Chain A
């Protein structure tokens, strides 16, 4: 029918976008991963990836991403919970979100000053009596800054899940004699796991691939999968190896998405009366 033809004509730009910028790039990455520097077809990149250097890099990258996600969650969950209890919760949430809209680079740059040898953090340490420490270019500074960057992204989905929670369920649990820990463990947490899962998803995947924070804060000491890709593409110009690492990063990404995928329906409704 003419109607459906019209429909397919106007959706051309969008379809073209999917083909050109979603499917083609992934295909190109896979394609390039089979070529070496000289342009010969080879599996050497994959063999390379399974050598100790790259395996170690992958494991340490996962370890840092795990730490970053864990600390973000530990800080974000109580924060989100407490915000839902405040009077003007939307306003407080907005105040949490504003810093996430400040340019990422600027926030990272601030920490170069804050954590520097003559920065306020070291001045504080000296005043307390611990004395000057090298804070920049350590594991601590890297994890701290990353957590700082990611906290708003973790708070948001958890806040939404908590906010949807029907307060009657909590009252019911209290009335039935559960103490607050039991209420949290048996009622609140299970009903907000979807929020937590999407929070983990939005933190863990980027944390695996950070390269700007590692360069500025960790000073090339920490190499994540992202740093390695950037290095291969822009410094060494070895696109084949870079693509191979990227292929693995994509695979990890899909695995993480599958693991953290929430149930489509049901659980997210949380029984709130409409």
Chain B
């Protein structure tokens, strides 16, 4: 492996600094006893205390987490079913067609998804609020689960299934003892991505959330539109810690499950 010269190193360093500067800038000023994001006065925890004292904000955080977990769980279930259905499709043309349909929501801009879901919910009479947000999050997370699970399925050696059937396993056994364990890493990855999709989504939620219900992204947007509030900074400090923990957790899981990927457990 060649070593990097000084100039490339400097370039990488600058890119990394620019990527992280805004985040650390936010966190830094979350400890500012002054009102704004300039002139650091004194170190304080008061903005963090303000986050925990704000009941409305806590409820919104809980809403966001509940929506994320529920939507990730349900979209993973439906997505795995979809991936299996696509995998077992014999007709190649049909399969490609379904795959393209699957990917439409992946590439659709958020505004389109939001606007079209808004029309849909109004038409079929779903009240805008918790239900509409949850349903939309499930809907736009399904394709990513399918995409994470499908490669694992095609990686699987079909003789594994044949062997299990020859050895007298029932269809259900094949599913629960052979296929599902094998594609588990894909399922986890899909679940995790669905979780982050939901936590991160702003645009779609913004369209389909009514008046009474709000998620964190939407709340931050309306707070940011009225100007700087260091409560947001404190919140971002907390979110940053959670995000990093999630990322590390995700990679830990991935690493652990990498082993049995080769096929048979030793």
Contacting B at CB under 8 A, from A158-196, are none
Number of interface residues of A (CB under 8 A): 79
Q: Is the CB of A212 within 8 A of B22?
A: no
Q: Verify if B191 is at the interface (C-beta below 8 Å from A).
A: no
Question: A118: which B residues are within 8 A, CB to CB?
Answer: 36, 38-39
Most buried by B among A26, A95, A103: A103
Question: A21: which B residues are within 8 A, CB to CB?
Answer: 105, 117, 120, 139-140, 142
Q: Within the complex, which residue of B38, B115, B225 is in contact with A233, where a contact is CB–CB below 8 Å?
A: B115
Question: B112: which A residues are within 8 A, CB to CB?
Answer: 29, 209, 229, 246, 249-250, 253
Q: Is the CB of A14 within 8 A of B85?
A: yes
Q: Is the CB of B243 within 8 A of A205?
A: no
Question: B104: which A residues are within 8 A, CB to CB?
Answer: 22, 26
Q: Verify if A157 is at the interface (C-beta below 8 Å from B).
A: no
Classify the interface of chain B: helix, strand, loop or mixed: helix
Contacting A at CB under 8 A, from B215-246, are 216-217, 220-221, 224-225, 228, 232, 235-236, 239-240, 243-244, 246
Q: Is the CB of A79 within 8 A of B110?
A: no
Contacting A at CB under 8 A, from B4-56, are 4, 8, 11-12, 15-16, 18-23, 25-26, 29, 36-39
- Give Cα distance in the complex from A180 to B100, angstroms: 39
Q: Verify if B162 is at the interface (C-beta below 8 Å from A).
A: no
10 chain-A/chain-B pairs, Cβ below 8 angstroms: A7-B88, A11-B85, A13-B82, A20-B120, A23-B101, A92-B12, A94-B251, A102-B243, A103-B199, A104-B217
The interface of chain B, by Cβ under 8 A from chain A, is 1-2, 4, 8, 11-12, 15-16, 18-23, 25-26, 29, 36-39, 77-79, 81-82, 84-85, 88, 98, 101-102, 104-105, 107-113, 115-120, 123, 139-140, 142, 171, 196, 199-200, 202-203, 206-207, 216-217, 220-221, 224-225, 228, 232, 235-236, 239-240, 243-244, 246-247, 251
- For the complex of A and B, list the 9 residue pairs with the smallest distance between their C-beta atoms, beginning with the closest: A113-B37, A25-B116, A209-B109, A14-B82, A11-B85, A110-B22, A21-B139, A118-B38, A105-B220
